[in-house]
Structure formats: structure tokens, C-alpha cells
């Protein structure tokens, strides 16, 4: 269970597998802060009930977008979408309306509601409450688990008895968008994998792609989570009930923490290298080759762990955005200095942002377009205070179109609004301008907006088209509109400021259903 308290010291408890977007809604609505079980037992318990409403927004996809609302699937795209995508129908089949204001309901051949979903590249996955997994879209590397590599445009049953799906929000938007792998957990307790496997991340002992669900027996039945990281140069990290850490996949620059740079094709226990079983794993992020068509094999991994007193941000691998301040790669995990009080962190593409419990923000990395908000573009090798305080929350917006950080990847929440930094072209920052934000700059949201989650999708190397959900179930959109990716309104002008769907723009979700 996950435990939180409000300002009255009343406890809210949630199941471990609760969707992040649903949990964020409750945190925002009730003003919750995380606590451990022992503290929860001493406080007054309340039952937290989350409305179904919007429970999933795509974060990193290519020309197409998927949303789950009230247990049903809604899709849209820009004008560049191909015949095989998340749309569930060929683009040549009379597609005439685009953008977030034309989200349409997609038929899934079942009466069961959606439990979880994922859309990346040009493919989609929907897990129903009855355990059926439906898939559709691109399937070059067998990522749909259908037993073949042919693309399918309609939702197709891929597996039954599925309890969880494990996916990646660190998939690049261009180039190798379809070179990733998927993991599921079934009612037998085992983890299954399928898809791109050139470096062994599927954990089946080979480097050959697999196109149907492979049972990973050596992981056993006590895996609580799979961190499915990156795409072509990606890896998989399994966390077990006993806090042990198991790894498989690309290990260039030693990013898996094995002490070597040899790729790992069978899941291997590396717990001792990452601090041992006495620490609990909170999150795993890093840089796993997000880039353009050329792609990059530079990789590193950051794992946030904790005991009853402190947090410990471990890192290993290549380059400057792991915060160790090293000039060379390390194959042995090391604790990033000054990270004993970490509340949250985001590491994606070539940069890392660390939020501390006192509300201060720290960061490191490539710092292209001054995305660290330091008013310069100098590489920052070690963690540095980013000169903004009172930060309440970090909001992850998903992978960028390419490795040079050409779009917004993170939004900061403060009491007085939301802040961004970095490249501003095409309105991707939502500040009302297209200029670069060299320091942390306030977004142009209305003052009553409290964000729950942010998603979006992209075309090529252009910045993304963004959509945000607030705590009143309203949807706000902004960003690149060159191919009608944001709003189909008869022109292709970019949307520079967050705009309410339904507020002057008609949002069609189904025949006769408008919000």
C-alpha cells in the first residue's frame, strides 16, 4: 500500500498498482504528502475514492495520441499519421479531423472497462479489467506479442490473464520509435516479455527479437515492478518483494551497474552493487539512448532508494547527467553527492532535475537551451542548485523528439503556478511566447488550474503538441500545431498559451458527446 496524509493528519491509502495519473489527482485534490506505514498506523484513516474520469494520457508517441476516459479509449492524430497507428483504423480510411479537439472513441471488442493503457511510437496497448490485453499499430520487432511481425490496425487480442503491463515513458519520438519491448505480469505471477531484443533486454538469453510473450522463469513470481527503460539501447530492471534488483539488456558504459560493460541477456541479480536489500527502491530513471535517427548509445541509470531515515540516489554509466561530476563513465554504482533528502527526480534525455524536501531544485546535464534554468547553456556535470525554491512537485511530460532536448520535458509546480525553462519555439513552453526561457518562467495557465498530469505527442524533430489534465477534469492544450496536432481549427497556427478544450473550441469525444 501507498500512504499519504493531508494537512489534518488524516491518512489516505492506495493500492500499490494505482495508476500514477489517478494518484496524482488525489494528491492534488486533497493536498497529500507521502508517509510510511508506521506513521500511517498512528493517524486517523480515511478512505480515498477516485472518480474514474481521465486515467491515461500518452506522453511519448509519434503522430498519434491515446487517452483513457471513464474506462474507454479515445484517440486522435495530426495530419502526418500513417495507416498503422493508435487510431485503430487506416489513415487513408476517410480521416478528416485532427487534433485534441477531435478525440474520438475507439471500439474495443469487449464489454470490460480499461484498467491500464499505453501508447508509444505508433502502437497501442489496452489492458481490460477482465485481464484481456488488446494491441494494435506498428509491429516490426514483434512488440505487440501476436506471434508475427505484421502491423495490425484494429485492436487485437494479444494475451489473457494479464494483471499488469510495464511500459516506458522514455521512448524517443523519432527514428527508432518502434524498437522497444513490452513486459506483462499474468495471473500465474510470472513476468512475460516480447519485442526488440538486440541487446537482450527481453531476458530470454538471446539477442534475437521475439514476437510472442516469453515467460521469464528465472525471475520467479515475486516481481513487484519492471522498469522498462528506453528503446533501441534500452534495458529492463526488475524489483522483487525482497527489495532485490535484477537487470537485463544494453549495458554500454556499465549503465546496469554490473561492474562491466557486457550486455546482459538473462536477468541477473545486482542488488549488492546498488546498496543491498535493506533499501527500498523508489524510482528508476536515466538516459537510455533517446535521440534522432542517428541515435546514441550513451546510457546511464539513476536509482532512488531509501531507508527509514534517508534517501540515496545511486548512479552509474556515462557522462554528465547522472550527477556524479565525473569526466568518465563508471560501471560501479555510486551515490550522487548531496542527495540524502530527495523528494522526487526526473532524468530524461540528457538532463536530470532533483527536487528536495525543502522545496529547492537541483540539476545537472547537457543544459541545451538553458533547460536547467541557469541563464546559460554550459554543461553542468555535478548537481547544482537551480535557483528556484518553493517547488511542490515535478511533472514529467515525456521524452522529447530528439536527444538535443528540443522540447519541454518537465514542469515545476509552485503555489502560484507552473514554471518551465528551455527551448520555446512553436509555443512548446506554454508561456504565451516562442522565445527561449533562460530562467524558470511562469506558464500562462489560468490561476485556478491545478494540474494532475501532462501528456502529448510529436512529429519528427518538431516540438510536441501538449495536453494537460487538471483537478476539475478539464483538458488544456498548447504547442506545435503545424500539422493540426493540437487543434484542427482551419489553420495551423501554433498554440502559444494553454487553451481550454471546450472553451471556444469544440471537443468531440463521441457522437453527441461533447465536453
Place of cell 500545431: 481
Place of cell 497507428: 85
Q: What is the percent of the chain with per-residue pLDDT over 70, rounded to a whole number?
A: 89
User: Is the per-residue pLDDT at 405 higher than 80?
Assistant: no
Burial 154-163 (b: 16+ CB within 10 A, else e): ebeebbeebe
Distance from chain centroid for Cα 297: 20
Over the chain, what is the mean pLDDT? 88
The model carries a pTM of: 0.88
User: Is the per-residue pLDDT at 508 higher than 50?
Assistant: no
> What pLDDT is attached to residue 267?
99
> What pLDDT is attached to residue 509?
40
Which of 371, 178, 170 minimizes the C-alpha distance to 255? 170
How many angstroms separate the CA atoms of 248 and 79, rounded?
38
DSSP readout, 431-469? SSS-S-EEEEEE----TT--EEEEEEEB-TTSPPEEEEE
pLDDT in tens, 39-83: 666 554 443 334 458 999 999 888 999 999 999 999 999 999 988
> What pLDDT is attached to residue 319?
65
Question: Exposure of 8 by Cβ count < 10 A (0-12 exposed, 13-18 middle, 19+ buried)?
Answer: exposed
Report the length, in residues, of the chain. 515
In the chain, helix, strand, coil percent, each to 5?
5, 45, 50
pLDDT in tens, 244-270: 999 999 998 899 999 999 999 999 999
Q: What sign does the CA torsion over 476, 478, 484, 488 have?
A: positive
Q: Identify the weakest region by mean pLDDT among 94-98, 205-209, 240-244, 342-346.
A: 94-98
Question: What's the mean pLDDT in 308-326?
Answer: 87
Contacts of 269 (CB under 8 A, 6+ apart): 244, 245, 246
Whether the CB-CB separation of 83 and 95 falls below 8 Å is answered with: no
Element at 2 (helix H, strand E):
strand 2-5
How many angstroms separate the CA atoms of 18 and 372, rounded?
31
pLDDT in tens, 78-100: 999 988 899 998 877 766 679 99
Return the DSSP state at 89. S
Place of cell 471488442: 109
Contacts of 479 (CB under 8 A, 6+ apart): 426, 427, 428, 430, 456, 463, 464, 465, 466, 485, 486, 494, 495
pLDDT-based confidence at 38, cuts 50/70/90? Answer: low
> What pLDDT is attached to residue 184?
98
Whether the CB-CB separation of 432 and 494 falls below 8 Å is answered with: no
Euclidean distance between the first and final Cα of the chain, in Å? 34
The alpha-helical segments, DSSP class H, found in 98-213 are: none
Question: Exposure of 143 by Cβ count < 10 A (0-12 exposed, 13-18 middle, 19+ buried)?
Answer: buried
pLDDT in tens, 224-244: 999 999 888 889 999 999 999
> What pLDDT is attached to residue 505?
38
Which of 398, 467, 464 minimizes the C-alpha distance to 75? 467
Which of 163, 174, 317 minimizes the C-alpha distance to 237? 317
Q: Which three cell numbers stand for residue 143?
A: 512488440
The β-bridge relationship of strands 437-442 and 417-422 is: antiparallel
Q: Which three cell numbers stand for residue 386?
A: 537551480
Contacts of 374 (CB under 8 A, 6+ apart): 367, 380, 384, 386, 387, 438, 439
pLDDT-based confidence at 489, cuts 50/70/90? Answer: confident
Return the DSSP state at 142. S
> What pLDDT is attached to residue 69?
94
Distance from chain centroid for Cα 96: 29
How many angstroms separate the CA atoms of 200 and 166, rounded?
17
Decide: helix, strand or coil at residue 272.
helix
Q: Which three cell numbers stand for residue 125?
A: 496497448
Q: Which three cell numbers stand for residue 110?
A: 469487449
How many angstroms separate the CA atoms of 278 and 308, rounded?
10
Whether the CB-CB separation of 299 and 253 falls below 8 Å is answered with: yes
> What pLDDT is attached to residue 48?
37
pLDDT in tens, 145-203: 999 999 999 999 999 999 999 998 777 656 667 788 999 999 999 999 999 999 999 99
Q: Identify the weakest region by mean pLDDT among 134-138, 225-229, 292-296, 381-385.
A: 292-296
Decide: helix, strand or coil at residue 219.
helix
pLDDT in tens, 424-451: 999 999 999 999 999 999 999 999 999 9
Amino acid at each position: 500500500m501507498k500512504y499519504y496524509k493531508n494537512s489534518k493528519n488524516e491518512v489516505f491509502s492506495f493500492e500499490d498498482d494505482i495508476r500514477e495519473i489517478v494518484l496524482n489527482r488525489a494528491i492534488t485534490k486533497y493536498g497529500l504528502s507521502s508517509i510510511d506505514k508506521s506513521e500511517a498506523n498512528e493517524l486517523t484513516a480515511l478512505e480515498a475514492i477516485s472518480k474514474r474520469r481521465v486515467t491515461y494520457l500518452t506522453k511519448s508517441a509519434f503522430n498519434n495520441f491515446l487517452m483513457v476516459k471513464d474506462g474507454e479509449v479515445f484517440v486522435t492524430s495530426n495530419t502526418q499519421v500513417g495507416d498503422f497507428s493508435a487510431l485503430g483504423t487506416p489513415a487513408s480510411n476517410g480521416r478528416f479531423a485532427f487534433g485534441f479537439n477531435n478525440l474520438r472513441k475507439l471500439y474495443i471488442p469487449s464489454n470490460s472497462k480499461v484498467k491500464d493503457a499505453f501508447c508509444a511510437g505508433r502502437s497501442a496497448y489496452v489492458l481490460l479489467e477482465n485481464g484481456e490485453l488488446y494491441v494494435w499499430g506498428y509491429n516490426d520487432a514483434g512488440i505487440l506479442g501476436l506471434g508475427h511481425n505484421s502491423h495490425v490496425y484494429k485492436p487485437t487480442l494479444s494475451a489473457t490473464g494479464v494483471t499488469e503491463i510495464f511500459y516506458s515513458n522514455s521512448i524517443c519520438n523519432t527514428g527508432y520509435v518502434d524498437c522497444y519491448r513490452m513486459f506483462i505480469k499474468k495471473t500465474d505471477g510470472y513476468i512475460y516479455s516480447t519485442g526488440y531484443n538486440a541487446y537482450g533486454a527481453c531476458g530470454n538469453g538471446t539477442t534475437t527479437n521475439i514476437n510472442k510473450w516469453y515467460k521469464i522463469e528465472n525471475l520467479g513470481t515475486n516481481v513487484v515492478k519492471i522498469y522498462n527503460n528506453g528503446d533501441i539501447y534500452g534495458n529492463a530492471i526488475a524489483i522483487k518483494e525482497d527489495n532485490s534488483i535484477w537487470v537485463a539488456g544494453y549495458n554500454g558504459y556499465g549503465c546496469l551497474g554490473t561492474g562491466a560493460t557486457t550486455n546482459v541477456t538473462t536477468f541477473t541479480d545486482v542488488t549488492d552493487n546498488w546498496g543491498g536489500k535493506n533499501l527500498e527502491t523508489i524510482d528508476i530513471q536515466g538516459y537510455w539512448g533517446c535521440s534522432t535517427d542517428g541515435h546514441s548509445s550513451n546510457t546511464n541509470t539513476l536509482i532512488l532508494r531509501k531507508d527509514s531515515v534517508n534517501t540515496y540516489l545511486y548512479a552509474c554509466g556515462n557522462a554528465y547527467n547522472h550527477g556524479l561530476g565525473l569526466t568518465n563513465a563508471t560501471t560501479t554504482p555510486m551515490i550522487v553527492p548531496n542527495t540524502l533528502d530527495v523528494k522526487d527526480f526526473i532524468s530524461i534525455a540528457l538532463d536530470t532535475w532533483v527536487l528536495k524536501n525543502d522545496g529547492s531544485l537541483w540539476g545537472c546535464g547537457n543544459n541545451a537551451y538553458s533547460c536547467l534554468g541557469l541563464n546559460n547553456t554550459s554543461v553542468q556535470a555535478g548537481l547544482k542548485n537551480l535557483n528556484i525554491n518553493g517547488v511542490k512537485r515535478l511533472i514529467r511530460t515525456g521524452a522529447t523528439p530528439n536527444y538535443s532536448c528540443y522540447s519541454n520535458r518537465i514542469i515545476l509546480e509552485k503555489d502560484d503556478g507552473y514554471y518551465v525553462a528551455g527551448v520555446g519555439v512553436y509555443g512548446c513552453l506554454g508561456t504565451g511566447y516562442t522565445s527561449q526561457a533562460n530562467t524558470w518562467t511562469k506558464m500562462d495557465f489560468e490561476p485556478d488550474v491545478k494540474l494532475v498530469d501532462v501528456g502529448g505527442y510529436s512529429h519528427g524533430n518538431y516540438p510536441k503538441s501538449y495536453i494537460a489534465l487538471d483537478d476539475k477534469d478539464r483538458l488544456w492544450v498548447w504547442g506545435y500545431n503545424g500539422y493540426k496536432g493540437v487543434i484542427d481549427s482551419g489553420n495551423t497556427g501554433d498554440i502559444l498559451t494553454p487553451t481550454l478544450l471546450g472553451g471556444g473550441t469544440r471537443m468531440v469525444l463521441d457522437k453527441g458527446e461533447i465536453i
